[in-house]
Amino acid sequence: MPTIADSLTLPCGAVLPNRFAKAAMTEGLADPQGRATPELERLYGLWADGGSGLLISGNVQIDRDHLERPGNVIVQGAQDEAAMAGLRAMASAGTRAGGHIWMQISHAGRQTQVSVNPHPKAPSAVAVGLPGKQFGLPEALTEAEILDLVERFGHAAEVAQATGFTGVQIHAAHGYLLSQFLSPRANLRSDQWGGSLENRARMLLAVVARVRAGVGPAFPIGVKLNSADFQKGGFAFEESMVVARWLQDAGVDLLEISGGSYEQPAMMDISGMEAPDAPPMAASTPSASTAAREAYFVDFAKTMRAALTMPLMVTGGFRTRRAMNAALETGGADIIGLGRPLCVDTAGPAKLLAGADELDRWESKLKLLPPWLSFLGGLKMMRAVEGFAVTYWYYAQIDSIARTGKANIGIAPFKALLTIQNAGKAWLKARKG
């Protein structure tokens, strides 16, 4: 039976040196032109030294007008030498310990913040169903624009390969553009890109085919896919199973199982078990039984394993070596994704490989709102605010490690929230020149 220390050979022939992956986490550290910076080089070097066999970058956007947050790295069109140099430095640092670094390529679609683009493109003119006017009403993509975006995904993968990244992960989860195409709630099209599951999956499969054509057969391609949207009328688990089989047939090397979107953010559970993949815009509290156990997407992966042969990666909740090895032994995962623990302790995987029993749960140590204020404001609303603050506390740890080499665990969660949000505003102002 495999353990966390065992290597894994992917279908394309590439070998991951162990079963740990640093999951994709938004960094917000690009310069105002969307170029990778020395801070990203430092950050990924430390994560590489920390023992993960695979590092997956945060969102690298293929369209500068559709960012997940200010500070995203952008690969769009011809890259100038400074942009290529930044990516090469990031990739070199990420592979300096002998592991892999994959570029996660993405397009935010309708989940583009209104401060970035008040009218983003999406499969259909269906707004994100959240209060607060954080997202504008999107415009439906034309077929020509869809085909152009497929080409852009392919181009981004080629840039990744050219600058030393050892693979790519296509982001088709969490309510971003490719996930929007899969969702019958967000995709109301009546042409070949909407309606049936085959049509809703057409863009994702076209992207995979274009990427494979651009990078060749030996370059790893991963996909991050929702097990479900966890919304009535959304992308269901039964559909996810079918799409997963199609992805396997298309030659995908590693499928990461996740779930949710901004409207129902299971991947950003405010109990603090998952990686800060993107800013949560709503609160979602899982059942007590789910929150109490580790690896809450493992059950979905186990069911998928019965029908699939390609390797599966699961992120979310893992803290103990026991649970990680159990997931590997039972077929619930081939790769263990780690997020939030590595925002504070970049060497977490190395410690587990050396015999440590578990990683810290920093959420339990954070001082949030006093109980009387939670009661005054309403428990549900206060939990949402606390969820925001905890997530931004982790953003602040990533930022601190990138700038100083060390986490800043002493920063208060609400100060972290304001600090990171103000940095985003400053980035947008600098971008507009």
Structural domain contains residue 245: yes
Structural domain contains residue 321: yes
Structural domain contains residue 228: yes
In angstroms, how far is CA 181 from the centroid of its own chain?
17
Structural domain contains residue 199: yes
Confidence of residue 17 (pLDDT cuts 50, 70, 90): very high
Q: 158 in helix, strand or coil?
A: helix
* pLDDT above 80: residue 373: no
* pLDDT above 90: residue 174: no
Structural domain contains residue 416: no
CATH for 27? 3.20.20.70
- What six digits make up the tokens of 257? 């199982």
Per DSSP, what are the bridge partners of residue 314? Answer: 257, 336
Structural domain contains residue 200: yes
Structural domain contains residue 407: no
pLDDT for the residue 242:
94
When comparing pLDDT for 280 and 301, which is higher?
A: 301
Total domains in the chain come to: 1
Residue 123 near residue 111, CB atoms below 8 Å: no
- What six digits make up the tokens of 26? 């938004």
pLDDT for the residue 332:
84
Q: Where are the alpha helices (DSSP H) in 354-405?
A: 371-377, 379-404
- What six digits make up the tokens of 25? 């986490």
Residue 176 near residue 139, CB atoms below 8 Å: no
**The model's pTM:** 0.90
* pLDDT above 80: residue 206: yes
Domain span holding position 346: 8-360
Structural domain contains residue 91: yes
